[in-house]
Amino acid sequence: MSAVRLAVTVVSTAIAVSRHPAVRAGVHAVVNNPKARETAITTTRNVAYNAGVIARHVLGRNKT
């Protein structure tokens, strides 16, 4: 599976999951709780960083 096709699949799945009522209720609960909100922000940043690291390993760095 190509990287582009994988990215499209991940984004499509994320959009579908985000529309689920249980997910929306959970997000609403996190937004209203400051400690949970801070934890969610930190976790999201860590996951995004790790995804970037994995992408660099898989795709390599373009040296121009």
* pLDDT of 6 over the 90 cut: no
Phi-psi region of 48 (alpha: psi -120 to 50; beta: other; left: phi over 0): alpha
* pLDDT of 64 over the 60 cut: no
The arithmetic mean of pLDDT across residues 46-59, rounded, is 89
pLDDT at 1: 62
Residue-range domain boundaries for the chain: 3-59
Which residue did the predictor score with more confidence, 35 or 55?
Answer: 35
The arithmetic mean of pLDDT across residues 31-46, rounded, is 92
* pLDDT of 63 over the 60 cut: no
Q: How far apart are CA 60 and CA 35, in angstroms?
A: 37
**Single-letter code of the amino acid located at 18:** S
